[in-house]
Structure 1
């Protein structure tokens, strides 16, 4: 977790020229479709000022669609992941789903970045496999993936029939809540998928339902906490 009190980040890290970060609830909601859209735009502007460049956002629909960030126009493309070679920060919005950030280098040492929104629907539909494949298609010789904070396997309660149906072909996703009911472990499944795709995985621990420094859709429905979305961002 970042120790800079003036930072908008809940967690950030740098490896060489690669920077990855996840914003905090204290930095405000950055999703324009939730709550006060003008406040969200102001929070995005503050984030851009901190980064020194405006992060780019997707129109997310819980799909497995991966788009090309280099050819996307100014308007947010409808997809749940994107891959690019430009230097602009790529972002995804989450509040229980997993934000997964990617970085790689091609054989000519050019950077390739990607960001994916991996909730239950997108994860099961293959959004992470498709993102890793898109990076390889761009020439990435190696891929590192950071799995950010999301609803943990001890909190993400689901109906028993859903768990049974999903876990048949994905045993690593099966979990139980801390109170003993059926649950899904999206993080464990994401790691399994990414490692199978040949990615080096970095786990960024954190449960959105348990940590009030992060937005959580499920927690807000239960407690009345402010709704919002935080961002996962990757840039060179």
Structure 2
């Protein structure tokens, strides 16, 4: 791994075992497991991923639903340990995957700022200094003293985003998080992320909005059924992805026609 590299993936594969049987309780699961009665289907969410991302590159991850985009981000963030292959990272990672997932519902927004901040490695002194800035950016106002269990999903995401982006990490991982909140907050969140680019942050970004990916990223990749099929400059990859979408959309009517014909026969 050279000094210019931020992330290097070699032959990364991620396998999940999907149970064929329906198990209604933990007791049944243990009994059937001991009797070797549970069978699994292997599902490879990622397979043979080889990729090097340089420091300062902003990479959009494109693909249809089920392509493996979120799984790849979770492997890089350390949420999942890959089944096979090796992963090297250089620099502190700020994973914005499921914003607010670590919040304690019974605690207030203020209490969760300190709890969530501690989970991200921030000291109490640092959070004390940044507290007002976090609250102001989240736009929660007096709701900051209300238990999180009374928050909407948008409010939780706004608070999570405000805490996670209070410092500029070396590697920023974004999974659909710029689509949270109303239009005004989405625009503000995007501006916040783009302000980090001056510090040379490396970005991995998943979004269903190709226009948003093109605004934020200078590189892109395409995943299809867990495999990396293209990687390069954003404009080149965007063109490939648009053609891929067009071809898939043409295939759908053909499949419907075949099914209706088969029913008539």
Relative to the length of structure 1, the TM-score reads: 0.30
Relative to the length of structure 2, the TM-score reads: 0.28
